[in-house]
Amino acid sequence: MAAIDSSVGGVLAAALLLPGIVAPAMAETAPEQGVVALKVANYRDWQPGLDRVKVDAPSIYVLAPLDAHWSLEGSLVNDAVSGASPRYHSAVSGASKMDDSRTAGDIKLTHYADRHAWSIGAASSSEHDYRSNTLSGEWRVSSDDNNRTWTFGLAYSDDEIGSTNDPTLDEHRRTWQLMAGVTQAWTAVDLVQFNLGASFGKGHYADPYKFPDSRPDERRQTTALLRWNHHVESIGATLRTSWRLYDDSWGVRANTLDAAWVQPVAEGWTVTPMLRYTTQRAARFYYDPVYDATLGAPFPPGFDNLQHYSADHRLSAFGAATAGLRVDWQVDRQWKLDLSYSRYEQRGDWRLGGDGSPGLAPFSARWWQLGLSRRF
């Protein structure tokens, strides 16, 4: 199962992709303790009449202080993927069976100084028809009062794309990613972060498992991310909120609002409910499920005159909502357990700011994750 977007290294992943993670504004010091974390995740998605993709993903993460100025961290994950993936729209008749395995890992070395730190990292992902390798770097610098931290990141990815349906397919995609951000301790109980990201990719983007599918060989992506964390001292809780704006050269534009409430409920126990909403505009070359009278499905009207076209529902206009719950148990100073569950629902008519793409079946997904970590 070839991936659509290039992989990013651990440095930029946290800054560009992971909501709810805010780096504290502080003097740059190496961690005093190491961490080993084991995770087991399970993902499943479906549409009416079609049980689609299932993923089981065990992973391990290790953070090791080397001395007062250096640390090394890395992670390794193995995804076992199975199920059915529709070739176009949500048609059951067009689904192809798949059974795949992906192994991915990353490593990052960080050097800490008095007011700044820099990191270099590498990441790799491999499956039978897709390989990705990434190099990344990051620099952070804090103000004299430790209330503000500036962050700058750079990553380069080289992807190889193949296909079990077409053994002759041997394509590449290369991507540069940039990130700049600032984290500010606004008050004693408020932390604000703003990040800007840009991605410039060139190469093969068409999905070999969705026919017909022809996409531009370039993609420029920009993101703006604003986060605000507010601590409620009277009950020991923290509200985490974020807004993310995404825009690319294909015409896709999306807004995502995210909120989570971190609430200690007993000695060592914390409960975190979360909500997320996304609204997205379709790519310019996305076509709705209206088929050519002569060629039939899945060809769009005027297919012969189109340069680019795709029926991938991920490029459609839609709205999506996610609800989740996470429970953490700090067993003692060394051991911690966590369990999380999320449910995702996507509909064309849930889009705000315009009509969603018609004719698509509802798309649903759920995932849970169990984690165990130990400090040493």
Q: What is the pLDDT of residue 287?
A: 87
Tens of pLDDT, residues 169-207: 899 999 999 999 999 999 999 999 999 999 999 999 998
Tens digit of pLDDT for each residue in 210-241?
878 899 999 999 999 999 999 999 999 999 99
Report the alpha-carbon distance of residue 332 to residue 63 in Å, rounded. 19
Taken in order of first residue, the domains within the chain and their CATH numbers are: 10-375 (2.40.160.40)
Whether 5 shows a pLDDT value over 90: the answer reads: no
pLDDT at 290: 67
36-70 confidence digits (pLDDT tens): 999 999 999 998 877 788 999 999 999 999 999 99
pLDDT band with cut points at 50, 70 and 90 for residue 74 = very high
Q: Return phi, psi of residue 305, to 5°.
A: -100, 5
Q: What is the pLDDT of residue 167?
A: 86
Cα–Cα distance for residue pair 31/88, rounded to 1 Å? 48
- For the segment 239-258, what is each residue's pLDDT rounded down to a tens digit? 999 999 999 999 999 999 99
Report the alpha-carbon distance of residue 13 to residue 36 in Å, rounded.
Answer: 20
**CA dist list (Å): 82 to 2, 79, 89, 335, 339:** 13, 10, 19, 33, 24
Nearest partner of 58 among 369, 357, 374, judged by Cα: 369
Q: What is the mean pLDDT of the chain?
A: 88
Q: How confident is the model at residue 18 (pLDDT cuts 50, 70, 90)?
A: very low
Q: What string of H, E and C letters represents the secondary structure of the chain?
A: CCCCCCCCCHHHHHHHCCCCCCCCCCCCCCCCCCEEEEEEEEEEEEECCEEEEEEEEEEEEEEEECCCCEEEEEEEEEEEEEEEEECCCCCHHHEEEEEEEEEEEEEEEEEECCCEEEEEEEEEEEECCEEEEEEEEEEEEECCCCCEEEEEEEEEEEEEECCCCCCCCCEEEEEEEEEEEEEEECCCCEEEEEEEEEEEEEECCCCCCCCCCECCCEEEEEEEEEEEEEEECCCCEEEEEEEEEEEECCCCEEEEEEEEEEEEEECCEEEEEEEEEEEEECCCCECCCCCECCCECCCCCCHHHCCCEECCHHHCCEEEEEEEEEEEEECCCCEEEEEEEEEEEEEHHHCCCCCCCCCCCCEEEEEEEEEEEEEC
Asked if pLDDT for residue 7 goes beyond 70, the answer is no
Which residues, in sequence order, are bridge partners of residue 248?
Answer: 221
pLDDT (mean) for 83-100 = 64
Residue range 84-92: mean pLDDT, rounded: 63
pTM: 0.88
Residue 106: the pLDDT is: 97
Q: Over 70: is that where the pLDDT of 104 sits?
A: yes
